[in-house]
Amino acid sequence: MDAATLRDRASDLPREPGVYQFLADDRTLYVGKAVDLRSRVRSYADPRSARIRRMVDRAADLDVAVTDTETQALLLEANLIKRHQPRYNVRLKDDKSYPLVQLTDHEFPRIEVTRDPGEEATVYGPFTSKGEVETVVKALRETFGVRGCSDHKFANRERPCLDFEVGLCTAPCTGEIDEPGYLADVESVKRFFSGETGVLADPLRTEMETASEAQNFERAANLRDRLEVVTSFHGGGGEAVSSRGHERSVDVLGVAIEGEDATVARLHAEGGQLVERERHPVTAPDDPDEDTDHDEHEPVAAVLAAFLVQYYAERSLPDAVLLPEHHGDDEVAAWLDAEGVAVRVPGAGREAKLVDLALKNARRHVGRRDESGALAAELGLDSVSRIEGFDVSHAQGTAVVGSDVTFVDGQPEKADYRRKKLSEENDDYANMHDLLHWRASRAVEGRDDRPDPDLLLIDGGEGQLGAALDALADVGWDVPAVALAKQEELVITPDRTYDWPSDAPHLHLLQRVRDESHRFAVQYHQTLRDSVETALDGVPGVGPETRKRLLRRFGSVENTRSASLSELRSVDGVGAQTAESIRTHLGGR
């Protein structure tokens, strides 16, 4: 958008508070707030920084929304930034990068840890430690028996599954518990997440004491560790935090910036006790946000101003906020003052030490290598936050299976793993085509409840990638795909091949996804191969365990049939008589 066009557009705007958006190709480039929309937008015709000039040049359209007050404009700006994640704004990254716990809205609700909750589910979080959340959810399931299975597994069962046998579920699927009893247990889970720690801690403590009295010390120690996680989950203590008079809740913020990546560490205190620590990734443009009054030497202030509004717009405000330096935004200051929040920049004493602690937490996080960002830059993609990896496993065309694993922000998202039994065909390219056709069809037809990934990773070389791309084209699913060949660790794209250094962090990310997809496929293949009926089932002297050992040793019944007597006898549990029996019944040579 040129300067003349922008001035003409600005002349038609009202002199009222509001929010404006610069747009290009239906994407939001920048969101800003204004006390006077006409004056603010007109100022972009002569931008003060190269970054903002580039943004204006890229913009093809302008959208505005008038608000009644400046505070409304402040909060609307924060919501629009969080929704659209415009690249030219300082922005707090989406809470979905943190784990949540959801109770689904089914007749018999399911509990699970997720990053993408259902619209109708009851959701708790976000939480900063996935490990602690998983420990708590397992303890809740063991105590209250709430199911964690998929709808497919839950439906049409005739007998309880293994979760019932090991005490993780009360099996409402087969009527082992009635609906009122089950919903009462679900209500206990809700009470725990609402802050009633004793709902879970008390039965755990009782069970731990019982195990200790029975001298089952290993079980008692396990319960003790679990109890410690549970009791600290809602804040079980910590360092003392001084507060002033009526200030019961205090937040302490620290900021660290490295290039366009920043981290805000938040410490939270309740009643004088430090009960929560968390870190939030923030995208911080190299140049400061022109829509604030900060100069080019105040990037920390710009990050603080953006974080304060975006984080607290949808959360309860504390009584006080301690900052490492002044945020410098008059409108943010007016909003916090109107909400009764005290904002301080302590220079010495206990509060200053807490700010130093928050700064250390932020610096420890921001120094980590951004594997996803590096991978996106190398491949020329906007983002590769969500990657799905695919592999196929079989034994000469038998027990053919495919795996589909998901990584989010470089970490495995096991709730989103899927697997598929494929038709038996000894053709790796055809099998990969069928696997990707299945995934793409489910996505296009809306039968897959997962978000579309940013990147598909195929375990294999150019042939497997070609088969995958053909499947995507057949269905019309437009998602980038690359392959990672095992031997030389070459990254193959539709346009070129990359030979990245072995220590490149973005290569390590792809290797982790590839290795996990391979592991998951092989695991399913072995399970399927070991569970099917084969010609070995009728051989005298060959029981289930011997059959498994034979199939693992030779890969298939056909290979077992071709094995020599000495090769058969090399399998544990197969003696001379059993080897002869196998040869006779299978008709071996």
Residues 155 and 175 in one domain: yes
Residue that is last in its domain, among 167, 202, 233: 233
Could you report the per-residue pLDDT of 124-159, keeping only the tens digit for each? 766 656 778 888 899 899 999 999 988 888 888 888
> Rounded to an integer, what distance in angstroms lies between the CA atom of residue 518 and that of residue 404?
9
Residues 261 and 216 in one domain: no
Is residue 475 very low, low, confident or very high in pLDDT (cuts 50, 70, 90)? very high
Q: Is the pLDDT of residue 364 over 70?
A: no
pLDDT of residue 588: 58
Q: Is the pLDDT of residue 365 over 70?
A: no
Tokens found for residue 539: 């051989």
pLDDT of residue 370: 63
Range of 433's domain?
377-529
pLDDT of residue 533: 45
> Rounded to an integer, what distance in angstroms lies between the CA atom of residue 390 and that of residue 516?
9
Residues in CB range of 294: below 8 A, 6 or more apart: 288, 301, 302, 305, 328
CATH number of 448's domain: 3.30.420.340
Please name the amino acid found at residue 37: L
> Rounded to an integer, what distance in angstroms lies between the CA atom of residue 199 and that of residue 347?
42
Residues 262 and 207 in one domain: no
Residues 570 and 487 in one domain: no
How much is the average pLDDT of 25-34? Answer: 88
> Rounded to an integer, what distance in angstroms lies between the CA atom of residue 149 and that of residue 469?
33
pLDDT of residue 381: 87
In this structure, the number of other CB atoms found within 10 A of the CB of residue 298 comes to: 18
CATH number of 300's domain: 3.30.420
Tokens found for residue 566: 């000495």
Look-up: residue for tokens 């294999």? 460
The residues with which 420 forms a beta bridge, in sequence order, are 402
Look at the chain and report how many structural domains it folds into.
Answer: 5
In a domain, 110, yes or no: no
Could you report the per-residue pLDDT of 520-540, keeping only the tens digit for each? 888 876 666 554 445 676 788
In a domain, 505, yes or no: yes
In a domain, 98, yes or no: no
The residues with which 388 forms a beta bridge, in sequence order, are 406, 456
In a domain, 80, yes or no: yes
> Are 232 and 275 in contact, with CB atoms under 8 Å apart?
no
Please name the amino acid found at residue 354: L
| Global confidence as pTM | 0.39
- Of 309, 317, 313, 316, nearest in space to 291 by CA: 309
Residue that is last in its domain, among 173, 203, 233: 233
Could you report the per-residue pLDDT of 405-416, keeping only the tens digit for each? 999 878 788 889
Q: Is the pLDDT of residue 435 over 90?
A: yes
Between CA 136 and CA 140, with CA 139 as vertex, the angle to 5 degrees is 85
> Rounded to an integer, what distance in angstroms lies between the CA atom of residue 46 and that of residue 49?
9
Q: Is the pLDDT of residue 98 over 60?
A: no
> Are 262 and 335 in contact, with CB atoms under 8 Å apart?
no
> Rounded to an integer, what distance in angstroms lies between the CA atom of residue 337 and that of residue 551?
72
Tokens found for residue 321: 């906020």
> Rounded to an integer, what distance in angstroms lies between the CA atom of residue 157 and that of residue 151?
11
Tokens found for residue 518: 């391979």
> Are 18 and 73 in contact, with CB atoms under 8 Å apart?
yes
Residues 359 and 259 in one domain: yes
Tokens found for residue 358: 């928050």
Is residue 242 very low, low, confident or very high in pLDDT (cuts 50, 70, 90)? very low
Question: What percentage of the chain carries pLDDT values higher than 90?
Answer: 31
Residues 432 and 477 in one domain: yes
> Rounded to an integer, what distance in angstroms lies between the CA atom of residue 88 and that of residue 93?
13
Is residue 471 very low, low, confident or very high in pLDDT (cuts 50, 70, 90)? very high
> Rounded to an integer, what distance in angstroms lies between the CA atom of residue 563 and that of residue 579?
10
Residue that is last in its domain, among 203, 233, 263: 233
Tokens found for residue 341: 């929040």
In a domain, 242, yes or no: no
β-strand 273-283 against 261-270: which pairing, if any? antiparallel
Q: Is the pLDDT of residue 195 over 80?
A: no
pLDDT of residue 280: 80
> Are 37 and 25 in contact, with CB atoms under 8 Å apart?
no
Look-up: residue for tokens 């699970």? 112
pLDDT of residue 290: 41
pLDDT of residue 47: 81
Is residue 234 very low, low, confident or very high in pLDDT (cuts 50, 70, 90)? low
CATH number of 40's domain: 3.40.1440.10
Residues 481 and 413 in one domain: yes
Tokens found for residue 70: 């400046």
pLDDT of residue 153: 85
> Rounded to an integer, what distance in angstroms lies between the CA atom of residue 475 and that of residue 145?
41
Residues 388 and 485 in one domain: yes
Could you report the per-residue pLDDT of 271-318, keeping only the tens digit for each? 666 667 777 878 765 443 444 444 434 688 999 999 998 888 767 889
Q: DSSP secondary-structure letter at 17?
A: -
How much is the average pLDDT of 30-58? Answer: 88
Residue 113 host element (H or E): strand 111-114
The residues with which 411 forms a beta bridge, in sequence order, are 408
Residues 387 and 409 in one domain: yes
In a domain, 382, yes or no: yes
The residues with which 418 forms a beta bridge, in sequence order, are 404
The residues with which 398 forms a beta bridge, in sequence order, are 395
Tokens found for residue 34: 């204004």
Residues 358 and 260 in one domain: yes
Could you report the per-residue pLDDT of 564-575, keeping only the tens digit for each? 888 888 888 888
Residues 67 and 200 in one domain: no
Residue 568 host element (H or E): helix 565-569
Long-range pairs for 350-354: beta carbons < 8 A, 24 or more residues apart:
350/241, 350/242, 351/242, 351/252, 351/322, 354/241, 354/252, 354/267, 354/274, 354/322
> Are 543 and 416 in contact, with CB atoms under 8 Å apart?
no
Residues in CB range of 504: below 8 A, 6 or more apart: 374
- Of 98, 126, 138, 163, nearest in space to 227 by CA: 138
How much is the average pLDDT of 194-207? Answer: 84
> Are 516 and 387 in contact, with CB atoms under 8 Å apart?
no
- Of 326, 407, 370, 378, nearest in space to 491 by CA: 378
In a domain, 573, yes or no: yes
- Of 244, 396, 431, nearest in space to 322 by CA: 244
Q: Is the pLDDT of residue 553 over 60?
A: yes
Residues 505 and 394 in one domain: yes
What is the distance between the terminal CA atoms of the chain, rounded to a whole angstrom? 80
Q: Is the pLDDT of residue 386 over 50?
A: yes
pLDDT of residue 129: 66
The residues with which 389 forms a beta bridge, in sequence order, are 405, 457
In a domain, 99, yes or no: no
Structural Rg of the chain based on CA atoms: 29
Residue 171's alpha-carbon distances to 137, 142, 144, 336, in angstroms, are: 17, 12, 11, 50
CATH number of 560's domain: 1.10.150.20
> Rounded to an integer, what distance in angstroms lies between the CA atom of residue 402 and that of residue 422?
7
Please state, rounded to an integer, the average pLDDT across all residues of the chain: 83
pLDDT of residue 241: 43
